[in-house]
Amino acid sequence: MKIFQVINVRWFNATAWYAITLSRLLADAGHDVVVLTQAGTAPDKIARDMGLNTIPVDLNTTNPIRFAAATKHIIQLLRTHRPEIVNCHRGEGFFLWGLLKLIGFKFKLVRTRGDQRPPRNDAFNRWLHATVADSVVVTNRHMADYFLEKMSTPGKGLWLIHGGVDSEKFRFDQEGRNRVREEFGFTSNHTVVGLLGRFDRVKGHKETIAAVARLREQGHDSIRLFLIGFDTAMTSSQIQEHIDEYSIGDITRISGKRADVEACISALDIGVVASLWSEAIARSALEVMAAGRPLVSTNVGVMPDLVSPAMLVKPNDVDGLAQTIGLLIEQSELREEVLEAQKRTMSQLTLEEFLKRTLNLYHSLLDE
């Protein structure tokens, strides 16, 4: 197939990761994939570094002259490459692709919604998604319900396709576990609780820190906290302020930027996703679960699709988070039950399944 993946995303967030991973899978499977990016962005560089056929197009501009130039550029690309599928991973420019389809360009239009913010529920947007787009892809059940109930998207045109994880890369690594634990001063007697994610308020670092402090106060002297991440929207200094506020500096370590994230995940005994909102795709959760680490999470975004109900807590619920982590520490049978449930979930969330489900969608559109 000839496919355009439109990834005009400014940051390398979960949406960009989903789109670029999918592009690489399609290209590796022998499809003719062109990745349209925003010039000078991290997704553009990462896609190029992967060897993908990447073309920058300025779809995010609000300047009428530049937008006209971008439209001309896209028309040239359509005439040159003649894609059968155009998959838009961002809303900016989506209307333009819809307009080009309406005026006669022969491609099937897919809108992949990898963002937890719902689209505006107005007549124009409902028409664009339900009638102009040939299919809408969502990455979690909550968003699927929104499109069905609020956006009047036909059921046959709505596809739920979760992201996938590289289960060969993100698997339990005993040697890496031992090495990382020794490096950060974690012994075999410690229970290491960890949060993997960018330093950003949305990720709930403060709540995780507070929950670990609560558990220590309750007598869990062996508990340790490992924050796997580095400066992004928040700095390490800001994270350290929360650590100092709760007086757990002696039991907390910050990884900084690492090339061995898989080993850092393996060093954990319990993983945490404490996000306050978002998590439409939950890349870090998939990686933690693939490595066989039991996961406690807030019930935001895609997380109820992935995590056992008993392991879900409300956002900002420090008491609930501490209590659930404590149950995993104290009850070995519960840990085993959680791990078995995660294995069943992860068997359906491999990269192979991600590619298979996407190809099923694309083939169904071309067979119409």
The residue ranges of every structural domain in the chain are: 2-163+350-366, 174-346
DSSP 67-126: HHHHHHHHHHHHHHH--SEEEE-SSTTHHHHHHHHHTT---EEEEEE--SSPPP-SHHHH
Residue at 90: amino acid letter: R
Residue 334 has pLDDT above 80, yes or no: yes
pTM of the complete model: 0.92
Question: Could you tell me if 220 and 194 are in contact, meaning their C-beta atoms sit under 8 angstroms apart?
Answer: no
According to CATH, what is the number of the domain 174-346?
A: 3.40.50.2000
Task: Convert the pLDDT of each residue in 221-230 to its tens digit.
Answer: 999 999 999 9
Residue 117 has pLDDT above 90, yes or no: no
Query: CATH topology of 2-163+350-366 equal to that of 174-346?
Result: yes
What fold, for 2-163+350-366? Answer: Rossmann fold (3.40.50)
Compute the mean pLDDT over every residue in the chain, rounded to the nearest whole number: 96
* Confidence at 238, pLDDT banded by 50, 70, 90: very high
What percentage of the chain reaches a pLDDT higher than 70? 100
Measuring CA to CA, how many Å separate 155 from each of 68, 82, 134, 144, 151?
35, 28, 12, 9, 11
Residue 115 has pLDDT above 90, yes or no: no
* Confidence at 278, pLDDT banded by 50, 70, 90: confident
The stretch 98-115 carries a mean pLDDT of 95
Task: Convert the pLDDT of each residue in 128-175 to its tens digit.
Answer: 999 999 999 999 999 999 999 999 999 999 999 999 999 999 999 999
Measuring CA to CA, how many Å separate 241 from each of 206, 224, 249, 253?
9, 17, 10, 13
Quick one: pLDDT at residue 116?
A: 79
Task: Convert the pLDDT of each residue in 241-271 to its tens digit.
Answer: 999 999 999 999 999 999 999 999 999 999 9
Report the distance separating Cα 114 and Cα 279, nearest Å.
9
Which residue would you say has higher pLDDT here, 62 or 360? 360
Choice among 44-48, 114-118, 262-266, 343-347 with the minimum mean pLDDT: 114-118
Choice among 117-126, 130-139, 285-294 with the minimum mean pLDDT: 117-126
